[in-house]
Amino acid sequence: MTAPLVRPAEPRDVPTLGRLGAALVRLHHEWDALRFIAPMPGVEQGYGRYLRGLMGDADSIVLVAALPDSPDDVVGYCYGAMRGRDWELLLDPHGVIHDVYVDEHARRRGVGRGLVLAACAALEAKGAPRVLLSTATANEEGQALFASLGFRPTMIEMTRERGGS
């Protein structure tokens, strides 16, 4: 398997980033409609603008990936950031990967692995002594990928809806 081409996102990638980010929103909402926001009209443009705004931020990374046979066709992205000491989460300074998404047709070809490894390297280059990420409980394939890359479970998020017993 040939490694994907991973690079920092550029303004020309914004429409694709918006489409991929919207797909991530839809997938999470399908997994748990009570926990994750519902996709709203314009989610593609909104997510694209959001990620575009992070491209110039020194503490953030936005990466895109393409397959070697189609280097101009972005099929996945990753967004991460550096964070300082966080008393609420009981964390010293760290890197965090917020988003990883790969188009369904490009999965199982090393794209997710390439994005996560590149994100970890970029965050570590910014000084992160560790990188954290969260994954939906339904995302078993993602969890297997993350474990294979050295991530270990450390927290479990639990959600209670109003009126729950």
Closest alpha carbon to 13 in 81, 70, 101, 75? 75
Domain 5-148 listed as CATH 1.10.760.10: no
- Separation of alpha carbons 80 and 60, rounded Å: 6
Q: What tokens does 83 get? A: 């964070």
- DSSP secondary structure letters along 80-134: EEEE--BTTTTB-SEEEEEEEEE-GGGTTSSHHHHHHHHHHHHHHHTT-S-EEE-
* Mean local confidence (pLDDT), 118-127: 98
Long-range contacts of 12-15 (CB under 8 A, 24+ apart): 13/64, 13/74, 13/77, 14/48, 14/49, 14/51, 14/52, 15/44, 15/48
Which H or E run includes 22? helix 14-31
Q: At what angle do helices 14-31 and 43-54 cross, to 10 degrees?
A: 120
pLDDT digits (tens, 9 = 90+) for 67-106: 998 988 999 999 999 999 999 999 999 999 999 999 999 9
SS3 content of the chain, % helix, strand, coil (to 5): 35, 20, 40
Over 80: is that where the pLDDT of 1 sits?
A: no
Q: Single out the residue of 139, 155, 5, 153 nearest to residue 68, CA to CA.
A: 5
Q: Predicted confidence band at 3 (pLDDT cuts at 50, 70, 90)?
A: confident
Q: Are 117 and 147 in contact (CB under 8 A)?
A: no
Q: What is the pLDDT of residue 164?
A: 80
Q: What is the pLDDT of residue 71?
A: 87
